[in-house]
Structure 1
């Protein structure tokens, strides 16, 4: 029995969502957990599609609601820990060496970022779970600064539990109309991407102006 229908458009992203739906068909809520773990490692795979589909499958009796929430949260933690491990392996020293060789980037930029994360990292990891793209990427700097693993898991787990519960319940209550919320989340994600792009452009322009000013003064 098919647990849910993604109703995708044949794109590569739709194919990925269909793959997750297939996992739920075969192995139940564990498939949803694997899909969410993959979403953490590959942000273009939208949790806003996977989670409501898990809720829809639960509403049809494929598995229970609590199983959908539990295993998607476990998947979130597992995926985040993989990225945390990558960040820990990368480390601050390697990051400084790379920054020293990159144009427009200074070692001091890394040091300031690390200092900021030491001060605000707990809030960043928790609230980052509610922001598209950052939901995955925030795990890497947490690993770089070696945030205590227990603290990282706790913050990631609580934040993911809240986020996952909301979207699983949306699928549970909206049923086949779950696409409504996906459309709004697409807009939200595009806004986040636009803000990041503007911030990067601002950084590049400001740094180029600073370099030119330093050359004129020297």
Structure 2
């Protein structure tokens, strides 16, 4: 089976469900590649041979972001900052004291804007919902920032990739699958760069504060 035939066999509903579930789970606090999934789905929607709607992709991503963040907010509100201490012990690479201290510092400095712009930053995409709840941010303010940020991120990313995919298909014609590979590689590269930058910021925090101080900041 050729790649084109394989892509055409994918039901559009399955694409929307995967986009919504992955982004929702990432927003809930599970470290999944939501951005790569969104970029890939948006690129698939640019192929006219497939019955995948860019509006459907954007809507699924927005709903996943809003619902996932809202569930994460409820969990964080219920368990407080102690939630991150427990998660840090089980998943130190994603919820270590340095990660939490950095995210909390950004929330303390930017407030509700950290929720809005957090949708564009891998670290805050995972922390935004649970951390906002744990810090007792008012839910209506959180929801407004979360929904608007999710809409701009999902809609903007889908639109840019969709039109880029159309342009690529015109130029590459029979080799339009190359654009999908390039998009995924770019998405992976961007994710790695963001994680490296996050690690650098965490290392700087650790150099300035010992672990006991960081744990104290997490529990405050």
Residue in 2 aligned with 1:78? 67
Matched, 1:124 2:124: no
Checking the alignment, whether the CA contact within 8 Å between 1:56 and 1:171 is kept in structure 2 is: no
Taking the aligned partners of 1:74 and 1:127, their CA distance within structure 2 comes to: 17
Q: What's the offset of the Cα at 1:59?
A: 4.2
Checking the alignment, whether the CA contact within 8 Å between 2:115 and 2:142 is kept in structure 1 is: yes
Taking the aligned partners of 1:159 and 1:43, their CA distance within structure 2 comes to: 19
3-state SS of paired residue (1:44): coil
Please tell me the root mean square deviation across aligned C-alpha atoms, in Å: 3.8
Taking the aligned partners of 1:203 and 1:159, their CA distance within structure 2 comes to: 27
Checking the alignment, whether the CA contact within 8 Å between 2:26 and 2:125 is kept in structure 1 is: no
Residue in 2 aligned with 1:29? 16
Q: Deviations over 1:8-60 (max 9, x none)?
A: xxxxxxxxxxxxx96x5554534432232133243232322334314524644
Distance 1:35 1:200, change over 3 A: closer
Taking the aligned partners of 1:43 and 1:207, their CA distance within structure 2 comes to: 26
Distance 1:200 1:172, change over 3 A: closer
Distance 1:49 1:68, change over 3 A: closer
Residue in 2 aligned with 1:89? 78
Checking the alignment, whether the CA contact within 8 Å between 2:116 and 2:145 is kept in structure 1 is: yes
Residue in 1 aligned with 2:26? 39
Distance 1:165 1:114, change over 3 A: closer
Distance 1:115 1:34, change over 3 A: closer
Q: What's the offset of the Cα at 1:129?
A: 0.6
Checking the alignment, whether the CA contact within 8 Å between 2:44 and 2:52 is kept in structure 1 is: no
Taking the aligned partners of 1:44 and 1:123, their CA distance within structure 2 comes to: 23
Q: Deviations over 1:179-212 (max 9, x none)?
A: 334333333322322222223223333234x99x
Checking the alignment, whether the CA contact within 8 Å between 1:127 and 1:159 is kept in structure 2 is: yes
Residue in 2 aligned with 1:191? 193
Residue in 1 aligned with 2:172? none
User: Normalising by the residue count of structure 2, what TM-score does the alignment of the two structures yield?
Assistant: 0.65
* Uncovered stretches (5+) of structure 2, i.e. residues with no partner: 87-96, 167-176, 214-220
* Uncovered stretches (5+) of structure 1, i.e. residues with no partner: 6-20, 99-104, 212-218
